[in-house]
Amino acid sequence: MTILENKFGITDSVQLANIEERVSKTKALELFESGLLDSFEVGTFNGLAHIHRYLFEEIYDFAGKVRTVNISKGNFRFAPVIYLDTALANISKMPQSTFDEIIEKYVEMNIAHPFREGNGRSTRLWLDAILKKEIKKVIDWSSINKEDYLMAMERSPVKDIEIKLLLKNALTDKINDRGVYMKGIDASYSYEGYNAYKTASLK
């Protein structure tokens, strides 16, 4: 396993995962409590880059920057670097006035996977910001099973009905609820295998 170059000079993957989880979860909570999350552009790559930078800037030099290498997960290759800038510009312009449009935009941003690391965690916050602004709802991530979510996302580039249904059933109008947000962060991180800290214990 490749250990990403980081500002702590850590070369052990377990140690890096622990530091990354603790630091970025703390920053995710700050984003909510400071109101900063509501100040970023909603539904654009620029807004997503601000979220990613805030979460990961203490750990990685590449925080908020478009990746310069091609990446894949399993057998799926994310958007090639050569097309990434064009893809991100097009995604930023996609409509976002209905639930279906918002999820379609989210699926496209996931296919783009613009960052070297931390795409899923930052993009789920970005998705909730769009839902909050446009339809006055957010997703209660803590109610979504990890395996169901990962399988639906894996299939979403071909068919997005499954992910739309899964996310629609988890919508809540508690858009400013701190507890829903914190449990959502924990769930979001657990999808990626980060389970060492509860967000509520970091403040």
- pLDDT tens, residue by residue, 102-144: 999 999 999 999 999 999 999 999 999 999 999 999 999 999 9
DSSP 114-139: -SSS-HHHHHHHHHHHHHHHHHS-EE
Place of tokens 């670097």: 81
Fold assignment, 13-196: Fic-like fold (1.10.3290)
pLDDT at 1: 63
pTM: 0.97
Domain coordinates of the chain in residue numbers? 13-196
- pLDDT tens, residue by residue, 64-114: 999 999 999 888 899 999 999 999 999 999 999 999 999 999 999 999 999
User: How many residues are given for the chain?
Assistant: 203
Cα distance between the two ends of the chain:
32
Distance CA 89, CA 154 (A): 23
Q: Pick from 136, 141, 147: which is nearest to 185 by CA?
A: 141
The pLDDT confidence band at residue 59, using thresholds 50, 70 and 90, is very high
Angle (nearest 5°) at CA 113 between 32 and 2 = 100
Instruction: With beta carbons less than 8 A apart as the criterion, state whether 203 and 29 touch.
Output: yes
pLDDT at 2: 77
Query: Strand 138-139 to strand 76-77: parallel, antiparallel, or no bridges (unpaired)?
Result: unpaired
pLDDT at 33: 95
Q: Pick from 142, 103, 147: which is nearest to 126 by CA?
A: 103
pLDDT at 45: 98
Distance CA 57, CA 6 (A): 10
